[in-house]
Chains A and B, each alone.
Chain A
Amino acid sequence: MSGTEDEPRIGVFVCHCGHNIAGTVDVEAVAHMASNLPGVAFAADEMFMCSDAGQTLIKEKIKEHNLNRVVVASCSPRMHEPTFRRVVEEAGLNRYLFDQVNLREHVSWCHMREPELATEKAIDLVRMSVARASKLQNLPIKKVNVLPTTLVVGGGIAGLRASLDIADRGFDVLLVEKTPKLGGNVAKWTHLFPSDETGADIIKPLIRDVKKNKRIKILTESKVSEFDGYIGNFGVTVKNLKTEKEERYEVGAVIVTTGFEPFKPVGYYSYGESPDILTLAELQELPRSEQLLKISNGKPVKKVVFIGCVGSRQPGVKGHEHCSRHCCSATAKAAADLRDRVDEVLVLYQDIRTYGKGHEEFHRMARQKHVIYSKFPQNEYPDVIVKKSKITIKWRDVLADEDLEFEPDMVVLASAMIPPEDVEETSHLFSLTRSGDGFFNPEHIKLAPLTTHTAGVMIAGAAQAAKNASESVIDASGAAAKAVGLMAQGEVEIESTVSHVIPELCSSCHTCLTACAYNAISMDETKDPPIAVVTEAKCHGCGTCAAACPSSAIVMYHSTDDQILTMVEAFLCPSPSIQGGG
């Protein structure tokens, strides 16, 4: 690597994060300790390091003190590492000469009642980071070309919108949908909020436009079976589920819009014990008719009960803790519509969350049409009893403080949105992590909700969390803009944190070849004995080979043995002179 052999001149910036860090950690003591560490030329504490003022301070001090390494002790690097890397770069330093210490998520927020021990921990972490900083090296900034095609996985409303947006801007799309039909879940709904159209009314024109568009290649009844490569240059194998035939494609970006599945609430409210107890999704899929008929015997339905939050908002039940966000509004809409056709409509709810634009209005409309809303207690669910094809429902009304009973002809369960059954497969294919609700994690929930930790792979729509159709479409257009931005640039910077074999040390043992999951290492057979070589473009930077090599012949850039061990040493055996305030 190009040398940074000059003496380290490290700048340490300790962030208060307002009260977030400084409320627990003695940031002044941390900065003071840092100023006494070897190699540190400047140390200070500052209110908000990520603010303009903080960023300017870093740049000024780099100039003023001729700093060649920067340590910022603040929030998680998973949030602001890119910000600070850019700042040091703007001041003329290589981005890899920056290191961040996590004093907020890993210290102040999780040790709020132990300020002294928290400060000790902060001091250790900063000392470790400074030790690492002095060993950091310049790495080249590498760029690769971006192929002008985006893969869209899932042809629901989000996938369709994203495909059209991208194609309209002049780039190609490969749209892969596992079912025989485009349209996803929205296509099935007969009572769509907030408009008065059916799902089919909304989705048909979209499908038509997508099918007409020459830039969009549609593969239905197909799934991605293999995925490799890196941002700008992914390889995708798509398998036709009917013919089992596989075909290979190359794309520059990916948008995952695999959506959700309506939860089948087996074990809730006697679901499955009578055909007249169905989910809201199943009700919506019934063909539209003048009269609502009982599934069991075809007789007209006179009394309907809806129950909210079925399989949603259950603390402690894995995958069912979230609010599914569509059901309050979807229930209000369906209840108001049905009220015109049946005698009584009752909605049993825990809370009502009709938060979207225009949603509160038709919730009110439902009430005006005399849909009866009754609130049941948080932990006392209504009882649905099926006896000789008669359904009885018993519950406690919180507001009237009364036990009530009703005999409906039909019970509709507003069940949760959960991830599709093959979500795990999708998450492994694209290396996506999932949150507690089972849906995919974005790169950052507030700052980067559409990108993921796999560079070049975006998520949109219900694949990210339970949400309604308009929110899904907003996501889709946003993710499409990200993909277009990437492709329009034509090239993108990639991480230089790859591994490298030092030929002189390689003992030709082949261990690293089996360690690497990406076939990034091969043996150069022209040498005698053959030596291992890393194909940098294929290397993802996991460092597994470096840990496996028995000859210590592999250097993992930015995570070298030396950079790691020096941190361990700085924690455990700081030389007495540098124990600082600790």
Chain B
Amino acid sequence: MDLTFTPQEEKFRSELRGWLDANIPAAWRDPGFWRTVPDDEGFELRRDWERRKYEAGYGGIAWPTEYGGLGGTPGMKAIYDEEMALARAPLSANGLGLTFLAPTVMAIGTDQQKRDIIGPMLRNEVIWCQGFSEPGAGSDLAALRTSGVLDGDEYVVNGQKIWTTNAMHGDKLFALVRTEQGSEAHRGISMLLIDMHQPGVEARPLRQISGASEFAEVFFTDARVKASECLGGVGNGWKTAMMLLSFERGASGISQYATFRRGYDEIVAAARRLGRDTDPTLRRELASRLVELECLRYHAMHVLTQVEQGRDLGSESSITKLQWSEAYQKLFETFDHLLGLDGVVTSPVEDLDLASLQYEAFWTRSVTIWGGSSQVQRNIVAERVLGLPR
């Protein structure tokens, strides 16, 4: 066992920490800040901040330098994620592009795509959305119906996507489209890179239980996309999507721990303010939540080790997803138990603002749905890890 990072990695940490200290406005560190600015304005702030961060040398941490990345180690990426969480840095405006699309383009994109996509993404000139889910195709993604018909050197796209995160701010979509008419299931699908700023694409916001509208539905009516804007080859969309989703696997648990642990400490602080921190039943419930968070941290170190050793994580990412999402959600169930009726108002006593935690509590209801629901993850673990019959 050696749970330390290398001296170079620690040097990177202290430099990054210094930069974050100097470059995150004090107001932003207030947990309530992002709710005080209008959605559009907040998005632009994040978009701009992230671009400046890239210009300061902190973009694409583990990407090869030829793509504008830093060429860093997996350990540096883990440190980067952790420091961003600890500093309460703004959430990425381009998370889906940076996490999923960019590494896929690096792996299988054409030279033109590599040039066109990666640089502008790093500078946040193009914000990417993931257009996978449809009204009739959620967990069963292969049931998707949105169609693309070739017309000269362009596809004409018709259909609908839904739950599209950031669609109201997005510039382009990487979308799964059925380009072979009459095809079924995994066959005949292509991943098309669709410009959202055209008459045939309309995004309508959807309001979430938290009140925010982070996702939207997207309608395609004879939308057009160049045939060259197909990633991974025509008809290979399913394979491309599976590769793309595999890039979620990393050591993100280390930063998630930092975020969730802060949630735990804030919940404890709120309980103390309301004189509930001595209730023996609730103390044990809180402690059992911390057990799961600590396990997430240990698990993240295990995952990072696997990545550093060059091992294929395979279906292990389903285990990671189950652990973090369930632990996170249950932590906020305890938040409700702990505060009882006082937890239903945003400010039960003077100087105690619970709004951010309440917002987060609603958010945790979504984490067991997106990115593969908990039920789907359990199917994967049972069938692919444990070898139980389908």
The answer to whether A and B come from one shared complex is: no
